[in-house]
Structure formats: structure tokens, C-alpha cells
Structure 1
């Protein structure tokens, strides 16, 4: 009986700690289609970001520590609300996604301003500190060896601007490519800083980023690179669709392969198996 009482007490203490950290939150698409209901959270110690995460971190981490993606927004802006359906969906499959910009409950509900690329690496610093803090809900639940850096449009340039950070294990460029531009502290000279596999996920000829992404793909020859193209996707792809549409599913194939070691997901990229991805094309190079 004493053991049961102590277990109940520990549960309530853990719950209080977790709830105390989350100052505000919302649920996107009923928490996603994955095994773990996701929330979009404003953390007390990280006010200028949204953490898309499984609501119950400990349960989600039972099958393995949770990989991380840090994310920079289109326009290099301070809100991820245009991307929240993809980011929440990823989180529901057992990931922690930390997006630049404070929590915004509804569209148009905040002031839009620009951000700095270093906010991506600051987010990694934060989650690393949380993982070792015994008072944190993230304590010992985070896989710090498996971190992705992703961004959409101008946010992709921010990804390249901090690409040299050794903690990054993979990169995701959504509707983005630097080509011959200079943006957000990045240019074509930033490409050699990429030191891990990178995927470009673009939206076909009507996506203004596709031509620059093509140039990047041609120029990158020192790390593995994949190029996933939704031919009728446009510059926002499927970010606005329920559960993030096929952009979410393509992202999860990449993340499950690169960060969770699920080799079966590699067929989409290495074998061009697009049977579940109508309207997409794929090419890849430099993979062993």
C-alpha cells in the first residue's frame, strides 16, 4: 500500500512540474494522426518559441528518446502559425519540434517581425539544458544525438546560416534554396558548412524556390542530398492541409530514416518508391 501511495504521489508531482512549465498551449488538428497526442506549447523558460511536442513526454519516450527538430519560418518571421499543421503532425509521431516565434492562437493574432538565424542554435541550447534539469518535464526524454534543423522559404536560409553547428545531424529545406542569393546571413558559400544529409522539399515549377533549390542540389557534392518535388505544390506546399498533407508524410519518412534509424523509410529517397506520394518526383545522390 505504501508503494502504491508513493507511486501516486510521484505521478502528481511529475504532472505538476510538467504543467507548471507550460504557460499556454493549443491543440492543432486534434493533436495529429500519430501515436502521441501533440500540443503546441508556450514554455515558461522559452517565451519566444513554440514547442510542438507529445503532450505526455514520458509516455512518448518509452519507445526511445525523442529526436528534435528546430524550425525557422517562412519570411524569417516570428510566427510558425502557417506551418503548425506540419510541425504538430511531426510531433505526434514522437518528435520535439521547436519553432521560432511566440505561440499564436489564431491567424493575424500577433505582430510579424523578423528573426535571427541564431535562434535555431539557441533552441538547441535550451532543449539540451532542459534534458539535464531534473525539474524539467524534458529530463532524460530527449535524444540530443539526433537533431534536425529545418526551415521554410527564408527560414531555409537561416538553416544554412547556422549549418556549421556540429550538433545538427540532418537538414530540411522546405520550399527553399539559396542559389545565387544572399539572405538571412547565408549565400552559396554557406553550402560547404552543411556537414550531414540534407533534403530539399519543394513545390514544383510554381514554387519560387524550386530553381534555387535545383542549383543547391547540383552544387552540393560533399554530403548526401535528396530532392523531393511535389509538382503542383506551389510555394506553400501542403502546409495548410489537415495533418500537413503529404509534406508531413514526406518529412516523417526523412526524419524516421535519418533520426530514428528506420531504414524502411529510405526507399522513398533511395529507390524512388513514391507509391504513397502521388504527384511527387524524387532524386538523390551521394548516399552510400
Structure 2
């Protein structure tokens, strides 16, 4: 019996090491890929700005192509509340290519433009989780964008509609998005693979959000989850169950916690983000059909499972 237990333990350890190795290989492949410009009508670029040096911007490369169309603004909370503003660059560039200025806190730490960095050979030891970017840093993107919209001489002068402001984020960054969602300037919210920990159980140092934040929501909110294998599934589904003051939708694609951000143009989750933003911010009726009605586009896609409140 002891021998069987030892063999089982060794097998599980080998599988865990193989899984970690495959994840590292996948991450390395993603980091080696060039930036993308998105599929929208305004090819996007990733850049930094000296006026906001601790953030990474994604925007239409040629603002003159917008004509009279105004930019929307999306501020993004990075997964793990990390300081890598390029961690989901395909996803953010795709959104930007549809007429948005997307702002993520941190610097370019992975992919093109990233400085060389040593790669850890072993995973860090377990311990309390901490953050490298704060909710205030994410929200600073809104302040800066709206200030640039009003500043003569800025490339964004008069090009942003202050009514088209949204917040989103992944995992720990989704918690930051939920904190910022109470800001009256915010008019759309998307939470990826995240949800508020039940009160008293939050393991993340530097994040103080509790379930009461859900009562401060004032706009419709979309949760995009990765199915029951998503580590945030209990938190996200509990959030959805508790929300009773604003329209809410939970759309789940069974891909786990990491989503599809490293797939081409952000994969299958990204068009859902774009449609939600276009509906909530610009009132686009074609985009609304992704979500509204018993025969909504997500409702009839067998890859997705959907729950809704006050959406139809």
C-alpha cells in the first residue's frame, strides 16, 4: 500500500512538472510572437507615452482615420495585478482597433519591446499573494485620458467621448475593475475570470474589496468565466447570484482560468468584449444581439453557457 501511494505521488508530481513545463513553453511562444494590429477598422498600435510613463497604451495607429468618430476609453486591470502592461497585448490591441484607447498599468515586460529578463527555473514558493499594481493606478488611466482630451496640443484633444468610458480586467485585475466600477464616469464593466472572495477569505495583499462592492455597481456588468475548472468560478458565480440592482450577464467558455488571451487577436473571448462595449457605450443594436433575447448569439452558441438578469 505504501509503495502504491509513493508511485501515485511520484506520478502526480511528474504530471504537475510536465504541466508547468508546457505552460512555460506556451508562454515563451506567446512572448516571441509579434504584436498584432487587430481586425477592426482602425489598425492598432501598442505604445507608451511620456505623460503616463507607468502605463501601456493601445490605440488606433492613425487617429485621423477616425474622422468624426470619438474614441472610447477602456482601462484594464492586469491578471495577478501584475505590472506587465503587455500581458494580454493581443486582446487589448483587438479592442483598440474598434475605436478605443485602451490603457493598462505597468510597462512592456513581455513580447516586443520588453527588456531581457532572467527566467526562473523553479516556481516561487507558496505564500501570501501580493500585487504590483494598484486599483488607483488602473483608474489613473481614466484621469489621464480625459485630461488629454481637454488638453490643446494632445493627439487626443477633442477625440475622446467622456461618456464612453469602460473598465475591465482579468483575475486579480477583475477585482480592480469591480472597485473602479463605482466611479460615475464608468459606463460599462467587464470582469474576466474573477469574482469577489467571500468576506474574510481574500488571500491577496493590497486588495480590500468585499461583496458590498457589488451593491455599488451602477451599470450593467458582464462576467466572462472559464467554466467550472476556472479557479475563480466559485467567486464569479457567487457574484452573479448576489447582483440584484443592475443588469448582469455571466457568459462562460470552458477554457479554464487563463481565458483565450494568447490566441490570435485575443481568441474567442475578445469579440464578446467588443460587442459588449459597442452595445453598452455606443448603443449598437447589432452588438446587442450578442446578448439580448432567448436566441442571442451567445445563447445559441453551444460552446458558451449563459446566465442573464435584466438583460432582455
TM-score (norm 2): 0.78
Q: Distance in 1 between matches of 2:100 and 2:76?
A: 13
In 1, the alpha carbon distance for the partners of 2:302 and 2:50 equals 41
RMSD of aligned alpha carbons: 2.2
Deviation at 1:278, TM superposition (A): 5.1
1:58 alignment counterpart = 64
CA apart distance, 1:223:
0.5
Which residues in structure 2 correspond to 1:227-238 (within 5 Å)? 227-231=250-254, 233-238=255-260
Question: Shift of the alpha carbon at 1:287?
Answer: 3.1
Task: Work out whether residues 160 and 193 of structure 1, in 8 Å CA contact, stay in contact via their aligned partners in 2.
Answer: no
Map Cα deviations across residues 4-48 of structure 1 (whole Å, 9 max, x no partner).
xxxxxxxxxxxxxxxxxxxxxx9722x111111100110110111
- State the secondary structure of the residue aligned to 1:68: strand
Instruction: Select 1:91's aligned residue among 96, 99, 104.
Output: 96
Kept after mapping to 2: 8 A contact 1:27/1:40 = no
Asked whether the equivalents of residues 121 and 165 of structure 1 are also in contact (C-alpha less than 8 Å), the reply is no
Contact 1:157 1:185 (8 Å CA) reproduced: no
Q: Is the Cα contact below 8 Å between 1:202 and 1:229 reproduced in 2?
A: yes
Q: Of 269, 274, 282, which residue of structure 2 is paired with 1:252?
A: 274
Question: Is 1:76 paired with 2:81?
Answer: yes
TM-superposed deviation, 1:97: 0.5
- Choose which of 137, 142, 154 in structure 2 pairs with 1:136: 154
Match of 1:192 among 215, 229, 232: 215
Question: Structure 1 pair 256/27, CA: closer, same or farther in 2 (3 Å)?
Answer: farther
The separation in 2 between residues aligned to 1:28 and 1:276, in whole angstroms, is: 32
1:185-244 CA-to-partner distances (Å, cap 9, x unmatched) read 21111111211111001111111112211100010000111111002x111111010101
The count of corresponding residues between Structure 1 and Structure 2 is 260
1:104 and 2:105 matched: no
The separation in 1 between residues aligned to 2:35 and 2:301, in whole angstroms, is 23
Give 1:275 deviation, angstroms.
7.7
Q: CA deviation at 1:104?
A: 3.2
Hey, what does 1:155 align to over in structure 2? 173
| 3-state SS, counterpart of residue 213 of structure 2 | helix
* 4+ residue runs over 6 A deviation: 110-113
Match of 2:308 in 1: 284
Structure 2, unpaired ranges of 5+: 1-32, 118-129
Bigger Rg, which one: 2
Q: Is the 8 A contact 1:40 1:103 kept in 2?
A: no
1:117 to partner: Cα distance: 0.4
In structure 2, how many angstroms separate the alpha carbons of the residues matched to 1:211 and 1:227? Answer: 12
Aligned residue number for residue 264 of structure 1: 286
Structure 1: give runs of 5+ residues left out of the alignment.
1-25
- 3-state SS of paired residue (2:235): helix
1:164-243 mapped onto 2 (5 Å cutoff): 164-180=182-198, 181-182=201-202, 183=204, 184-231=207-254, 233-243=255-265
- Alpha-carbon offset, residue 58 of structure 1: 2.7
SS in 2 for 1:144: strand
Give the corresponding residue for 1:21. none
**Shift, 1:277, TM fit:** 4.7
Question: Which secondary structure state, in structure 2, belongs to the residue aligned with residue 199 of structure 1?
Answer: strand
Distance 1:114 1:131 in 2: 28
Asked whether the 8 Å contact 2:291–2:299 carries over to 1, the reply is no
Q: Structure 1: how far apart are the matches of 2:289 and 2:172?
A: 29
